[in-house]
Structure 1
Amino acid sequence: MTPIKPRTIWPYAIIAVFVLFASYIGYMVQQAMRTTVDLVSPDYYQQELAYQKRMESVARTAALPAPVELRYEAAAQRLTLQLPPALASQPVKGQLHFFRPSDQRLDFSLPLQAGANQPFSTAKMQPGYWRVRLDFTAGGQAYFVEKELLIK
């Protein structure tokens, strides 16, 4: 009579580890495929081509005698744009772009109005992190300012 050897569970444990690992990888691939991946903006590559002009506008804005100010008043739910006095007497044209990095669908733009002190309501904006981009021309010169804004 031959003695009966006790069964070992190691082959079953190794197979179970491989099956669990493969299941985990399959789950992670499924989650990755469901995630939406959006570019920062639909015309991202066109914006990169205009980078040099943007840098010239930023340098021109930095050289102004007084800075362009964007003040957020949380209690009044208002954002106030204050142009420097040197630009207040000139006709100003431009756009104020509100950019939400976490959700492209919330982005919107507002036109600039005449005057050096311009209020904008933030009551309909969702709380969180925003970037405000001010792109305007005054006296035939282009200017650009980008500020960070935290709506509460």
Structure 2
Amino acid sequence: MKINWGTGIVIAFIAFIAFILYFVIRMSTDDQANHDLVTQEYYKRELAYQKEIDASKSAMELGAKLKLEKSEEGITIFFPEKFDPKKITGIVSLYRPSNKHLDLDFPLSLSKTHLLIPDNSLVDGRWDITIKWQYEGNNFLFKERLTY
């Protein structure tokens, strides 16, 4: 049996379509492929974005800049020394873009002007650190990306 050009083109299209369908079905049913949004409540967070802008602005205006330092023990967050550490409250969020199961949130309570995030809770790679903190009724926000 001889295959002409028309039949060859149709066979090539059918093979290509079959490959694409196989690829789409396999990727949509595979558990290793994570198809989640960046955050669970993406739209609610988008509406609260102006509050984040205001908190970042107030941190700059009041000189409440935080400093991060990587060491062998982990990541140390240094708060401004002019603030009483016992009056600082808030939340530290560690976001891992590649795996939502590694994300960490923990409350902020200080006895010194620095906070250590231990090395055993961090995996090598990129982390987005967000610190929402309050001091005497003022809200502050600190965001930074780092590679650990």
Correspondence for 2:89: 93
**Structure 1 residues 17-28: aligned runs within 5 Å:** 17-28=12-23
User: 1:72–1:80: 8 Å Cα contact kept in structure 2?
Assistant: yes
Counterpart for residue 33 of structure 1: 28
Q: What is the TM-score when the length of structure 2 is the normalising length?
A: 0.85
With the length of structure 1 as denominator, give the TM-score of the two structures: 0.83
Question: Counterpart in 1 of 2:102?
Answer: 106
Matched residues, percent identical? 24
* Counterpart-to-counterpart distance in 1, 2:127 and 2:3: 60
- 1:87/1:14 Cα in 2 relative to 1: closer, same or farther (>3 Å)? same
Q: Tell me, which stretches of 5 or more residues in structure 1 are unaligned?
A: 1-6
Cα shift readout 1:102-121 (whole Å, capped 9, x = no counterpart): 11111111222222122220
- Residues 66 and 85 of structure 1 are in contact (CA less than 8 Å); yes or no, is this contact kept in structure 2? no
Report deviation, 1:27: 2.1
Q: Choose the corresponding residue for 2:74, options 78, 86, 110.
A: 78
**8 Å Cα contact 1:96-1:134 kept in structure 2:** yes
**Residues 36 and 66 (structure 1 numbering): CA distance in 2 closer, same or farther, change over 3 Å?**
closer
User: Matched residues in 2 for 1:55 and 1:134: separation?
Assistant: 13
Residue in structure 2 matched with residue 137 of structure 1 by the alignment = 134
* Aligned residue in 2 for 1:43: 41
**Secondary structure at 1:87 match in 2:** coil
Q: In 1, Cα distance between the equivalents of 2:61 and 2:97?
A: 28
The Cα offsets for residues 80-132 of structure 1, whole Å up to 9 and x where unpaired, read as 11111232366100111110111111111122222212222022322111101
Larger Rg belongs to: 1
**Structure 1 residues 6-51: Cα deviation after superposition (integer angstroms, max 9, x where no partner):** x563233123212212212212321442343111221222212211
Per the alignment, in what secondary structure is the counterpart of residue 149 of structure 1? strand
Is the CA contact (8 Å cut-off) linking 1:131 and 1:147 kept in structure 2? yes
Corresponding residue pairs, total: 143
Give structure 2 stretches of 5+ with no counterpart.
none
